[in-house]
Amino acid sequence: MEIPEKIKNMKSDRKMLTAVAVLGAAGLLLIMLSGFADGGKKSSSTAETSLTAGTSSESYCTDTEKRLEEFLQRIDGAGEVRAFLKVGSEQRYVYATEGKKSVSDKKTEEEEKYVLIGGNGGKNALIETVEAPEIEGAVILCSGCGDPAVREQVYRAAAAALGIPTAKIYVGRLRASA
Q: Give the pLDDT band of residue 35 (cuts 50, 70, 90).
A: low
Range of the domain at 122: 92-129
3, 39, 85, 91, 160 from 43: Cα distances, Å: 52, 11, 22, 19, 16
44, 66, 115, 125, 136 from 110: Cα distances, Å: 38, 46, 16, 20, 35
Lowest pLDDT segment from 7-11, 18-22, 103-107, 138-142: 7-11
Task: Give yes or no: residues 150 and 86 share one domain.
Answer: yes
Distance CA 119, CA 117 (A): 7
Asked, for residue 39, whether it belongs to a domain, the answer is no
Distance CA 158, CA 145 (A): 13
Q: Give the pLDDT band of residue 171 (cuts 50, 70, 90).
A: very high
Number of domains forming the structure of the chain = 3
Q: How many residues does the chain have?
A: 178
Task: Give yes or no: residues 98 and 83 share one domain.
Answer: no
Asked, for residue 47, whether it belongs to a domain, the answer is no
* Residue with more model confidence, 51 or 128: 128
